[in-house]
Structure 1
Amino acid sequence: MFDSTAKAKRHGEARDFVRLMIAKAAGGGAATEYFKQRWPESRNIDVIQRAAVEPGKINGESWGDELSPERYLASAFVEITIAKSVFGRITGMRNVPFNIRFPVQTGAASFGWVPSGGIVPCSSMSFTTASFKPLKVGGIVVTTQELAKLAAPDAETIISADLAAGIGSFLDEAFLDPNNAGVVGESPASITYGAPHVDASGVTAVAAKDDLRRMLGSITTDMVAPYIVMRRTTALHLAAADGGLDADNGAFRFLGPNGGTIWGVPVLTTASVPQGAESPPHNRIIAFDAAELLVGDVGLEVDITEQADLLMDSEPDSPPTGSSVLVNLWQHNLTAFKATRFVNWQWRKSGAVSYIDKVEY
């Protein structure tokens, strides 16, 4: 009961964060009054009122900004919406702060049986140091001002879905794509880049189980927090193996399009698992030990403006060139929501990830 009540409270806070963004877009300098008049039933009106008088910024540059009302609601939005992505559903990762050097163990201590009167083994653990730089994921969602001012609940759903789905799916692809080598100082390499992999050996459930054994067998860590990630269609095909691919589907009886388990290992499903370049494209299945993954993440920030010239392009020229076409938001009656998230990841040690390529089952 407590869990469901707490979850409902967080859903309400996430919804009110989107409403606050709409109020800022539609209400201008009177965002608080606009919010109170449009959503008088909100349980977070007192939080919104504090946000209106909160001094300073909420972009992580000043002390105590984690306590600002707007960031409090934003954290709920991140928790509810980004949790739908693979990156948001993984538990067991090692969270580390940005811009602080921390030790990374590279050698384990030695232990052994000691006979009576014998000498106890002595060793020194070896460490190196590492530091996480905050890397930024961002995007801009442009809507008409009419949509922001629309009283129907659909307006909240549309804006919320655009903000959340864009960053969530992009992060998943960047996180999982074996071809993502990353760019130093700009973006991290995927967890699968340079990882060992096996090619699918067939299309039957028997072949799938053999491939899964080989994939999992190539992971050399302790598998403290193991995960398998695949596309929903792959999971559905494996789950239906008894009537289609093969009668021997015992490994997949707890599997479905929304995930499940294989041999007790949690399976996460997403449409963001990158496919191969073949035609038609082949799928991939990825396995990893999240306990060996270092992650830094400070959450989501959203800015709003109606006064800007934008390059309406998913791959804009940077910097703009003479041929770049700018769109004036004010002239076209548009509102832009800019979402950014500071996040980074890297493996603590090698041998924690593998994948199956050229999957056709």
Structure 2
Amino acid sequence: MNQLSTRGSTLAGRYLQAIGVANGDPIAALGYVEQQQHRWTDYSQVKAAVDALSLGQTGTHLTASVGDSFLELVRPRALLWKLPHLRVVPFATDAILQTAGASSYWVGEGGLKPMSAPAFQRLGKLARRKVVGLAVVSNELLRSSRADAIVADDLAAACAAGIDAALFDGLAGDDDRPASVTHGALTVPATAAPLADALAALALFKGNLTTSAWFAHPQTAARIGAKNPGAGQACDVGATGGRLLGIEVFTSEAVPKTAVSLVDLSRIEVAGGRDAELRTSANATLLMTDPDTGTAKPTSMFQTNCIGLLGEIIVNWRVGGPAGSAVSITGASY
């Protein structure tokens, strides 16, 4: 575990551990933290955050630092924060996207200077949306010496998976979640020749290739590379990414195995991703899904001697620009 993720797991995880062990009572949580004075190297930071919570100061930089440390665990896991060329915008602010720029001309002596009119598209406002990770742990686990790292890492992985799933599953958005960056993309039916399919997608693509990237499932990317050994930069791709037709390839388990998409990243606007909140509950009743049957049933945290943990991140995105800013190869079974 690198230094960045270690800091996140201790501060965010120990904050969760303290308020979880105390069943959400900030005064009892403060007492628990006091007992760890000689065990926790970041004792003073955890104490300050729990102390601020006990005083109802949830908006202070003290509790915000806990959210920041949690985000330090989420960002390396979520592909969203690894992508270049994204446009960062504020929430609830009208945005305008330039779809056609000004033109320049060569003009002879005494000649008329032509005029050009840039074209713009009004995108409207990005609303505040949130992705929520939920986990349930036993009281015994929460009191274990490694609970701080376990619970923080688990919640971070859940939030990152939720973000990437919405980013690449191809679905339309709704009141709860943003649309996938591949929703509404032009499509190319896959054949048995992935390199030829990529060239067909490129022929339909209307975005800026210098700010674009391919997205594929790791297995799909590995199979594309295996089908084109020795192709050089034209197809130097594997499970961890690479380049296809000289364009960078990003891989994620969230991308459907049957789709390979080319997206102009400069057309993606992202808001938020800078605020996170952590909460616990020992009295909630949660709908928990049975992994064997797939059915959900109400489960009482109190009756099962468990604690519910919640990590919440405020984030939203959208894709602007003309049709053809995203093209997907569909039905890829390479």
TM tier relative to shorter chain: 0.7 to 0.9
Change (3 A) 1:247 1:330: closer
When structure 1 is superposed on structure 2, of 221-230 and 30-39 the one drifting more is 30-39
When structure 1 is superposed on structure 2, of 286-295 and 217-226 the one drifting more is 217-226
Question: Secondary structure in 2 aligned to 1:84?
Answer: coil
Distance in 1 (alpha carbons) for counterparts of 2:112 and 2:44:
66
Contact (CA 8 Å) 1:173, 1:274: kept in 2 or not? no
Question: Secondary structure in 2 aligned to 1:166?
Answer: helix
Contact (CA 8 Å) 1:238, 1:249: kept in 2 or not? no
Q: 2:262 aligns with which of 266, 287, 290?
A: 287
Q: CA deviation at 1:106?
A: 3.9
Contact (CA 8 Å) 1:230, 1:268: kept in 2 or not? yes
Aligned to 2:300: 328
Q: 2:67 aligns with which of 65, 71, 74?
A: 74
Question: Secondary structure in 2 aligned to 1:193?
Answer: coil
Q: CA deviation at 1:10?
A: 5.7
Which structure 1 residue ranges, 4+ long, deviate > 6 Å from structure 2? none
Q: CA deviation at 1:306?
A: 0.9
- TM (norm. structure 1) is 0.79
Aligned to 1:214: 200
Q: CA deviation at 1:132?
A: 0.7
Aligned to 1:102: 95
Q: 1:338 aligns with which of 303, 310, 314?
A: 310
Q: CA deviation at 1:56?
A: 4.8
Contact (CA 8 Å) 2:169, 2:254: kept in 1 or not? no
Distance in 1 (alpha carbons) for counterparts of 2:132 and 2:236:
37
**Identical-pair percentage:** 25
Q: 1:306 aligns with which of 282, 285, 294?
A: 282
Q: 1:182 aligns with which of 165, 173, 176?
A: 173
Within a 5 Å distance, the mapping from 1:54-73 to structure 2 comes to: 54=52, 56=56, 58=58, 65=59, 68-73=61-66
How many equivalent pairs are there? 321
Contact (CA 8 Å) 1:10, 1:80: kept in 2 or not? yes
Aligned to 2:139: 145
Contact (CA 8 Å) 2:234, 2:246: kept in 1 or not? no
Encode CA deviations 1:28-73: one digit per residue, 9 max, x unaligned.
4333453454474544333223213335554xxxxxx4x6123223
Aligned to 2:293: none
Structure 2 residue 13 is matched with structure 1 residue 18: yes
Distance in 1 (alpha carbons) for counterparts of 2:333 and 2:154:
31
Q: CA deviation at 1:251?
A: 3.8
Question: Secondary structure in 2 aligned to 1:359?
Answer: coil
Distance in 2 (alpha carbons) for counterparts of 1:21 and 1:112:
62
Distance in 2 (alpha carbons) for counterparts of 1:129 and 1:237:
38
Distance in 1 (alpha carbons) for counterparts of 2:32 and 2:62:
17
Q: 1:134 aligns with which of 128, 132, 140?
A: 128
Distance in 1 (alpha carbons) for counterparts of 2:277 and 2:327:
33
Question: Secondary structure in 1 aligned to 2:75?
Answer: helix
Question: Secondary structure in 2 aligned to 1:140?
Answer: strand
Encode CA deviations 1:238-273: one digit per residue, 9 max, x unaligned.
33x2xxx35553247743322223344222111111
Contact (CA 8 Å) 1:134, 1:342: kept in 2 or not? yes
Aligned to 2:186: 196
Encode CA deviations 1:89-144: one digit per residue, 9 max, x unaligned.
21221111111223332442232222233333334434335111112222421111
Question: Secondary structure in 1 aligned to 2:262?
Answer: strand
Distance in 2 (alpha carbons) for counterparts of 1:77 and 1:269:
24
Contact (CA 8 Å) 2:30, 2:51: kept in 1 or not? no
Q: 1:158 aligns with which of 143, 150, 155?
A: 150
Contact (CA 8 Å) 2:15, 2:50: kept in 1 or not? no
Unaligned runs of 5+ in 2: 291-295
Distance in 2 (alpha carbons) for counterparts of 1:125 and 1:289:
20
Letter of the 1:227 partner, please give it: A
Within a 5 Å distance, the mapping from 1:227-246 to structure 2 comes to: 227-239=213-225, 241=226, 245=227
Change (3 A) 1:227 1:144: same
Letter of the 1:130 partner, please give it: G
Q: CA deviation at 1:294?
A: 0.9
Contact (CA 8 Å) 2:136, 2:309: kept in 1 or not? yes
Contact (CA 8 Å) 1:13, 1:44: kept in 2 or not? no
Contact (CA 8 Å) 1:106, 1:126: kept in 2 or not? yes
Q: CA deviation at 1:166?
A: 1.9
Unaligned runs of 5+ in 1: 59-64, 276-282, 315-323
Distance in 2 (alpha carbons) for counterparts of 1:196 and 1:10:
38
Change (3 A) 1:235 1:126: closer
Change (3 A) 1:76 1:263: farther
Distance in 1 (alpha carbons) for counterparts of 2:150 and 2:332:
34
Aligned to 2:248: 266
Change (3 A) 1:252 1:224: closer
RMSD: 2.7
Question: Secondary structure in 2 aligned to 1:297?
Answer: strand
Aligned to 1:320: none
- TM (norm. structure 2) is 0.85
Aligned to 1:44: 42
Question: Secondary structure in 1 aligned to 2:278?
Answer: strand
